[in-house]
Each structure stands twice: as C-alpha cells, then as structure tokens.
Amino acid sequence: MQAEVILRKNPNVVSRIIGNEMILLPIYRNSDEINCIYTLNKSASFVWENLDGKTPLGKIKQKILKEFDAKPEEIDKELEKLIKELKEIKALD
Amino acid sequence: MNNIFIVEDHDTVLKIWKKKNIQNLDLVHLDAHIDLGIHLAKPLKKILEEAEDIKELKEKLEYAISYLHYAKDFKKQIDIGNYIYPAIKEDIVRDFYWVIPGGIKEFKSSFKLIKNILRDILKEENKNEKLSIEYLDEGLIVSSILGRRFFVSILEKLPNFNKEILLDIDTDFLVIDTLKKADNTQEIGKRRPWILPKDLSLILKKKITRPKIITIAYSVNGGFTPINYRYFADELAYQFSNSKFKKRLFKKYKATRYFLLFNSTGKKEFYWKAVSLDRAFRLPDNNYGPLYLIKNRFLKAQEEFKRILKVDKDNFGSLVGMAQILLRNKDFKRAKRFFLKALRLKNKNDTPIHRLKERTLFGLAKIELKFKKLNKAKNYLISLKNNSCLEPEVYYLLGLILEKEKKYILAVQYYKDAIRLGFNDILPLKHLIKITKYLKQKDDIIKYINYRYRTFKNNFLRLERAKKRIKGLNSLRQKLLDLEKSLIQLNKSQYNNLTI
C-alpha cells in the first residue's frame, strides 16, 4: 500500500447511510451504466468517509488502527482489497 | 390585462410561468382536479437522500432507472395531472389555493374525498408525515403539503387577494358541479355548466385584484370539458380582457353553433364549417367514443366513432377508436385496416396524437403477433420503444418475441423492464423462471425473481386483507400458487437450502 497516495471519490457516485449501512449509488446520465447499488460494511464505510481527496492513505490507515481492533498487516491487506474493489466499480476517480 | 393565456392542455401553463420567470407567487387554481400528482421518477441522488430504508430505495430506484432508460428525461413525466408539483418544487408557486367546484353542500359531501386526495399526495411524498387540517370556515380548510400552506375552498369562501398572484382556471371547473363527478367517464354526455363564465369572472375580479398571469385551459383532451363548452375558456378570457379576445370568442362561438347543428342533424356541412372555424373540432374528443371505450361500453363507443367517420373518413381519433373496438372483438383483419389507415394519414388532424399513435402501433403489434408475424410485431414495438413509450406491456411483448427468438439475455432485460415500469401481472416472472434454464449466469436473475415474487405476493396479500371486491383476485391467487411451485423448484435446483 502506498501511504502517500491520495484518492478522490468519483462525483458520479453518491453515498448515504441508511439504517446501519453505507450505500453507494452511481448517478450517471446514461442509465445503462447504472446496474446496482453497493453497500459497504462498517470498516469500509469508515474508509469511504475518510476518502476526502485530501487525506493520504497512510493517514487513513492510522485512523483505522485507532478505531478498529485489527493488526496493521490485516488492515493493509483489507484496505488494498477495498480500494481495488472501489476502483472496479468506478467509485474512485 | 395583457397576461392572459389560453392553453389546450393544462400542463402548458408550467412553460408559461417559467418563460415569464415567475417566482414565489401564490397560486389560485380553479379546477375539478388538483393537478398535483407527485413525480415518481426522481433524480437518483434525490431518491437516495429521501429513502427511509433500503427497500424503499430499491423500489424507487428501479422505477427511476427504467424511466430514465426509456424516457431519457425526467421532464417527460409532466402532464395535465401533475404540472403543479414541479412548479412548487422549483419555487414558482408559494402557497396553493385549490378552489373546487360547487358550494358548501358539495364541499361537505366531497370532504372525505378531499382528505383522501391530500393524504395520497402527502403519503407519496413522505410516507411518515400525517395529514393535519385546520378548519378556517365552512368550505375553507388549510393544510401543509410539500412545505407550503395548502388551502382548499369553494369559490364563495376564497379569500380576497390584494397582492400579485397566479390565477389558473380549468374550463372543466364550470361544467363539473362537484368533485365527486370529476372523473372524465362520469356523466358522459350529461355535463352542464353550474356557473357561467361571466358570473365566475365577476366573482374573481372582486376577489383577485392583481393577477400577475391568468391561465385558462380548455381541457377538452381526455374528455374533461365537453367540446360544446370549449368556448367557455375563450369567454372567460374575454371577460377579463374584452378587446383582446372579442374576435376570437366570436369565431369559437360560431364554430360551436355549427358543431351543435352537426350533432343534432348529422349533416356533413355543419361539421366542416365548425372545423374550418376551429380545427379543434376534429380532435379525438369531438365525440364521446373515447369515454365510452374506457367504460367498456363498446356499442355506444362504436356509434360515436361511426357518426364522426361518416362525415370525416380520415378522422384519426375515430379511426383508432374503431380499430380498438375491432381488435377487442378479435376482428383482426379489419382492425389492422383501420389502424393502418390511421397510421398512414399524413396530417393527423393536427391533434395531440402522441398517445393515440402509441395505441395504433401497439394495436398493430398485437395483431401481427396473433398472425405470428414476429418480425413485423417486433418492428412496431421497437418503434414504440424508440419513441420513449413507457407502457409496460410493450416490453413484455418484446420479451416474448425475443424469448421465441432464443435471445434470452435480451428477453430477460425486457421482462425486467416490464416489471419495473409497473406491469400488473406475474406473467413476466413466469417467463423469467422459464428462461433461467438457458442462462449460464443465473444467480442474479434468480435473486431478482425471488425479490420480485415476494413484492408481488405481499401486494396481493395486502389486497386480500383489504377485503375489497377486486375482479380477478381469485385467478390471481391461483396464478401465484402455480408460480410459487415453479419458483420452489427453481430455487431447489439452484440453491439446495434457499427458502422463500
């Protein structure tokens, strides 16, 4: 994981917490591109909320360490996986 | 008074308000209909912001996405029954005064209906908000809807306004004497004015001294105002501004007299004299056929269409009407002839033909399907699809054709769209179950079928619990049971332990 990388959310993906879940919704003009909504679990929601286009990944990792009971190696792995998935669904620029 | 506009269909007034850059004015709306339907397909961001739970989010998104997919633009939702909604949302209208027809007696007898109308709007916009009503006077109440003060009153109790307001009148207000008879299929051929344009204008002039804009809708399309009273709109405009509308009123009045003569004698010359003075007398609602058709009074409808076709053989509305009756009577060959004749007309009588053209293409598609001409049927349906038609059955029939052509993935898409757009039957689900065996990737579609089946079943159970007499409920129960059996089998074959 590259600690200095700063990621930006795609403005065409909006989000909101409903119930206990963070929902991601693509809002493209072309409806063909909108197939589903995505739900994030608690830790993924935490990451999503911190992806503000200013905070580097390393700092987000530090925040996760404070917030959740997990080992740094596990966080690295999970964070990498999440970023990959978010990129796949075009939630990140 | 210069700002008086007469429009054919009521939703045109929204364009006028926008063009005139109206902002934050109270609206006085005299109409037998509230015209405040909620737009169900909203921008996706808005749906996400407003959803109270995931279920609501999914349901509203499904409809909006399908709507967007075919209609391309949410503005296409605007129609005669809902143009005030965007006017409120865009801050054109501030407080809303709905003046309903009749006097105190009619207000009292329609009160339950008024409450239901208000409650429905409230529920559609925000399901948790409860309706509260304040009684200001006999025949005048106020509530709060869409964040605005919302008054309902009879003409007599409408307050006086000394400020600028929007005055909006539907001609049907003058010929429907109570809200209880506001449906276009009630009192077919029997509607008579309960108040005359001159009397109405006198009252309004006293109560509203500074109307910023006066809009008046004929509302003949759809059969709300009988065509014989169309000129009431012109007379109202004349009462507010004599000089501007005098000539126009005279012409319209003359046309009406000729048309009445045609109605009583059946003579062609009177019909065409009326049409030459006002082309609107060729509109699809120049007879009661369309209304009888809605009421399934086919003989009466046929009589009406024939009466028009006898003097105007190229009348688009009556040709389509006749074709619809023939189609219903399974006289497919003749129905096709009528539909095709209507479709081939170069000048479709200058009428608002969009919906009738949709019916024509749809009728032809059904006929070609009966004749097993799948390609021809498909072409008609694709043409409807390309013209942003949102009729769910169009997509169901496209699904059927593509299923027959073994194009299963596309068929799935169309069946799903038919459901999303509100197809009121379980047939698409039945076909989706059938199709799954031909699909390689079926997990998502099986999940979808289960989800949709549950929604459909819950709605059915709700109807059953309501214990209302609903036609076809028993056969629907049987269909649901059959569907459930095949769904259980499908689930068993797919996931051994899935329960529904």
pLDDT per position as a tens digit, B396-448: 999 999 999 999 999 999 999 899 888 888 899 999 999 988 988 878 888 88
Q: How far is B455 from chain A (nearest CA, A)?
A: 18
Can you list the positions of beta strands (E) in B199-277? Answer: 208-217
In the stretch 40-59 of chain B, residues with CB closer than 8 A to chain A read 43-45, 48-49, 51-54, 57-58
All structural domains of chain B with their residue ranges: 4-39+78-240, 289-365, 390-494
In the stretch 34-93 of chain A, residues with CB closer than 8 A to chain B read 34, 37, 39
Between these two residues, B259 and A12, which has the higher pLDDT value?
B259
State which fold the B289-365 domain adopts: 1.25.40
Q: Does B71 touch chain A (CB under 8 A)?
A: no
Quick one: how far is CA B342 from the chain centroid? 22
Tokens standing for B455?
A: 């929604």
Q: B289-365 and B390-494 share one CATH topology? A: yes
* A66/B456 Cα distance (integer angstroms): 46
Tokens standing for B5?
A: 């506009």
Other beta carbons less than 10 A from residue B420's beta carbon: 22
Angle, vertex CA B320, rays to CA B315 and CA B321, nearest 5: 100
What is the predicted pLDDT for the residue at B210? 94
The answer regarding whether domain B390-494 maps to CATH 1.25.40 reads yes
Closest-CA residue in chain A for B63? A31
Question: Do B61 and A25 lie within an 8 Å CB cutoff?
Answer: yes
Q: B30 near B156, Cβ under 8 Å?
A: no
Q: Pick from A16, A32, A39: which is nearest to B49 by CB?
A: A16
Question: Do A18 and B68 lie within an 8 Å CB cutoff?
Answer: no
Q: Angle formed by the axes of helices B392-404 and B408-420, to 10°?
A: 160
Q: How far is B380 from chain A (nearest CA, A)?
A: 23
Question: Do B69 and A25 lie within an 8 Å CB cutoff?
Answer: no
Instruction: Give the mutation candidate from A21, A30, A34 for the B interface (greatest B CB count, under 10 A).
Output: A34
Q: How far is A41 from chain B (nearest CA, A)?
A: 14
Question: Do A27 and B44 lie within an 8 Å CB cutoff?
Answer: yes
Closest-CA residue in chain A for B53? A18
This complex has an ipTM of 0.84
One digit per residue, pLDDT tens: chain B, 500 residues?
679 999 999 999 999 999 999 999 999 999 999 999 988 888 888 888 888 888 888 888 888 888 887 777 888 889 999 999 999 999 999 999 999 999 999 999 999 999 999 999 988 877 777 889 999 999 999 999 988 999 999 999 999 999 999 999 999 999 999 999 999 888 898 899 999 999 999 999 999 999 999 999 999 998 999 999 999 999 999 999 978 899 999 999 999 999 999 999 999 999 999 999 999 999 999 999 999 999 999 999 999 999 999 999 999 999 999 999 999 999 999 999 999 999 988 665 555 567 888 999 999 999 999 999 999 999 999 999 988 888 999 999 999 999 999 999 999 999 998 998 888 888 999 999 999 889 888 788 888 888 888 888 888 888 777 766 667 777 778 888 888 888 887 777 765 433 33
Q: Does B311 touch chain A (CB under 8 A)?
A: no
